[in-house]
Amino acid sequence: MPHISQRGAHMPPSPIRKLVPYAEAAKKRGIKVYHLNIGQPDIETPPAIIDAVKHADIKVLEYSHSAGNESYRRKLVEYYKRNDVIVDHNQIIITTGGSEAILFAIMSCCDPGDEIIIPEPFYANYNGFSTASGVNIVPIPSHIEDGFALPPIEAFEKAVTPRTKAIMICNPNNPTGYLYSREELEVLKKICLDHDLFLFSDEAYREFCYDGRKHISALSLEGLEKHAILLDTISKRYSACGARIGAFVTHNKEVIDAAMKFAQARLSPPSFEQILGEAAVDLPANYFDDVHAEYTARRDLLVKRLEAIEGITCPLPGGAFYAMAKLPVDSAEKFCQWLLEDFSHIGATVMMAPAAGFYATKGKGVDEVRLAYVLNTADINAAMDCLEMAIREYNNK
């Protein structure tokens, strides 16, 4: 019998999705599951952008340019300018979700065996992308005690080797919700310039920054023009996760030319989604006001409820819509599975993502979970009622 590849054997399962069979089984037993495990917002996708697809006058659903429709890329130039990022449409490649943008960055800039430094915990699929491309992740630990702030520059300096090609960040951060300051980004800029490294900046949650703080894009940092690569997506921004449309953006022509060869190999990004994305740029300027207020209320409620449960630590996230919490349990993975298999409170339970899968370092995050505050406040309250009862019952069994 033929064997699968080593790459296939070593691809890590998603910590976000691997408990899905247990959730499905719970639902079949009649248990309501509050999904705080995945960043799938319940915010309505703006009807105007769906209508743009419905009303598109298309006779033949043909390939677009491999870089994406020029009309959409020109619209994105306007969008980025509003966010202090100055690019032209030839510096943008439309991708199949932010995931393809990440892959394009790794495969355009790194060879098998090269290294990417990433503060951990980090978006779990970075592990999968690195495995698929033969690149090694070098994790730099951040800590829940200081809210997962950027590790000190000395930690990065020690991690740099002759194989280091890039530093990758997610800002605001998934899974921690941490928002990097300009001062922290300047630290990263210095390291990249000193060691001639790329900075891959995943900015999927740009619009969701709280407490009056402003997002700073890596692509707006003066002097980093040849080093910074912006990785983007409309998925979270417009609650359009199923649209699978993203963007790869850089001033570095050599990198754009390399990425274009990968873009040509997959022919073109999705057509309907480009229409949807283009329409999204024309949403009214106040579109995010209500969305921002809603996420702020959800964040405040979730953290307040978590901090009120004895033994839980949860820093206040500065952005995105995730929180990392340290639980008073022996194993977050066992606890999260037990919640779905053996627990219910008033006919309901809660699903969270065990945090170990967001780390590259073995043994880290074993008592931590990521929670996505993508449900309305009534559901968050009900989910926290479940969690409070569950921790008490789990530790007394």
Q: Identify the domain boundary among 257, 281, 305.
A: 281
Among 65, 7, 15, 72, residue whose Cα is nearest residue 38: 15
Read off the pLDDT of residues 79-122 as tens digits, 9 standing for 90 and up: 999 999 999 999 999 999 999 999 999 999 999 999 999 999 99
Answer whether residue 15 shows pLDDT above 90. Answer: no
| Residue 346 domain boundaries | 6-44+287-396
| Bridge partners for 209 per DSSP | 319
For residue 126, tell me if it sits in a domain.
yes
Q: Identify the domain boundary among 281, 296, 314.
A: 281
Read off the pLDDT of residues 122-166 as tens digits, 9 standing for 90 and up: 999 999 999 999 999 999 999 999 999 999 999 999 999 999 999
> What's the mean per-residue pLDDT of the chain?
96
If pLDDT is split at 50, 70 and 90, which confidence band does 177 have?
very high
Answer whether residue 18 shows pLDDT above 90. Answer: no
Are 33 and 114 part of one and the same domain? Answer: no
For residue 218, tell me if it sits in a domain.
yes
Q: Identify the domain boundary among 252, 281, 310.
A: 281
Are 297 and 243 part of one and the same domain? Answer: no
What pLDDT is attached to residue 100?
97
Percentage of the chain modeled with pLDDT above 90: 95
Answer whether residue 7 shows pLDDT above 90. Answer: no
| Bridge partners for 261 per DSSP | none
Q: Is the peptide bond before 21 cis (omega within 30 degrees of 0)?
A: no
Classify burial at 380, counting beta carbons within 10 Å of its beta carbon; exposed 0-12, middle 13-18, buried 19 or more.
buried
What pLDDT is attached to residue 384?
98
Mean pLDDT along residues 34-50: 95
Are 141 and 38 part of one and the same domain? Answer: no
Are 124 and 147 part of one and the same domain? Answer: yes
Classify burial at 289, counting beta carbons within 10 Å of its beta carbon; exposed 0-12, middle 13-18, buried 19 or more.
exposed
For residue 1, tell me if it sits in a domain.
no
* d(C-alpha 123, C-alpha 115), whole Å: 17
> Within 10 Å of residue 293's Cβ, how many Cβ atoms?
10
- Asked if residue 280 lies in contact with residue 243, where contact means CB atoms within 8 angstroms, the answer is no
Q: How distant is the alpha carbon of residue 98 from its chain centre?
A: 9
Read off the pLDDT of residues 259-301 as tens digits, 9 standing for 90 and up: 999 999 999 999 999 999 999 999 998 999 999 999 999 999 9
Are 105 and 247 part of one and the same domain? Answer: yes
What pLDDT is attached to residue 51?
97
Residue 387: CATH number of its domain: 3.90.1150.10
Answer whether residue 13 shows pLDDT above 90. Answer: no
Read off the pLDDT of residues 210-249 as tens digits, 9 standing for 90 and up: 999 999 999 999 999 999 999 999 999 999 999 999 999 9
Q: What is the 3-state secondary structure (H, E, C) of the chain?
A: CCCCCHHHHHCCCCCCCCCHHHHHHHHHCCCEEEECCCCCCCCCCCHHHHHHHHCCCCCCCCCCCCCCCHHHHHHHHHHHHHCCCCCCHHHEEEECHHHHHHHHHHHHHCCCCCEEEEEECCCCHHHHHHHHHCCEEEEEECCHHHCCCCCCHHHHHHHCCCCEEEEEEECCCCCCCCCCCHHHHHHHHHHHHHHCCEEEEECCCCCCECCCCCCCCHHHCCCCCCCEEEEEECCCCCCCHHHCCEEEEECCHHHHHHHHHHHHHCCCCCHHHHHHHHHHHCCCCCHHHHHHHHHHHHHHHHHHHHHCCCCCECCCCCECCEEEEECCCCCHHHHHHHHHHCCCECCEEEECEEHHHHCCCCCCCCCEEEEECCCCHHHHHHHHHHHHHHHHHHHHC
Specify the number of domains making up the chain: 2
Are 158 and 208 part of one and the same domain? Answer: yes
If pLDDT is split at 50, 70 and 90, which confidence band does 17 have?
confident
76-93 residues labelled b (16+ CB within 10 A) or e (exposed): bbebbeebebebebebbb
Give the global pTM: 0.95
What pLDDT is attached to residue 12?
84
